């Protein structure tokens, strides 16, 4: 490689890093102070959670009965997942899930971020994604058809959707 090629590659990397930092600063400036996670299953919005207060809204969908919010005050939510069906490992460590025979994905909200703490997928990639509170880093679990998007610019009125169950 020539010295000019190295300089060009380095310049592109620096511009990319600065752009990412710029987008994060812009996201923080547009933030209302409230951070919400919108959880979609099979391209249908099923649940919205305030990451600071653990308040939630369940959308009135065919999947509403598969969502368990019995531990919402602890920041734990259970949602459906396409390939997450063998709950043996979860039942061994989570007595609430075992007692209630929950089948699906376990989400955890802590420190203003959301993460997947139990699911089944090839190589458990969904579970390895870092907790997030940024719209720039959604959690995408393709085998389970689950997507978690983060929104920081919703007003409190927008937190309550038109068609909700609870």
Query: DSSP of 78-106, one letter per residue?
Result: EE--SS----HHHHHH-HHHHHTT--SEE
Give, in order, the Cα–Cα distances in Å from 7 to each of 1, 13, 20.
10, 10, 20
Cα 43 off chain centre by: 14
Query: What percent of the chain has pLDDT above 90?
Result: 56
Q: How confident is the model at residue 164 (pLDDT cuts 50, 70, 90)?
A: very low
Q: How confident is the model at residue 59 (pLDDT cuts 50, 70, 90)?
A: very high
pLDDT tens for 92-109 read 999 999 999 999 999 999
């Amino acid at each position: 490689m020539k010295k000019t090629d190295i300089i060009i590659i380095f310049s592109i990397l620096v511009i990319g890093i600065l752009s990412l930092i710029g987008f994060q600063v812009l996201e923080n400036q547009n933030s209302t102070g409230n951070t919400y996670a919108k959880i979609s299953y099979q391209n249908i919005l099923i649940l919205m959670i305030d990451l600071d207060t653990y308040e939630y809204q369940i959308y009135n969908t065919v999947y509403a009965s598969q969502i368990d919010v019995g531990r919402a005050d602890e920041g734990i939510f259970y949602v459906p997942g396409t390939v997450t069906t063998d709950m043996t490992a979860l039942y061994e460590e989570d007595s609430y899930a075992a007692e209630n025979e929950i089948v699906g994905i376990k989400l955890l909200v802590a420190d203003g971020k959301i993460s997947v703490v139990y699911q089944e997928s090839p190589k458990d990639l969904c579970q390895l994604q870092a907790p997030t509170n940024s719209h720039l880093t959604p959690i995408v679990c393709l085998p389970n058809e689950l997507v978690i998007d983060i929104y920081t610019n919703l007003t409190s009125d927008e937190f309550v959707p038109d068609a909700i169950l609870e």
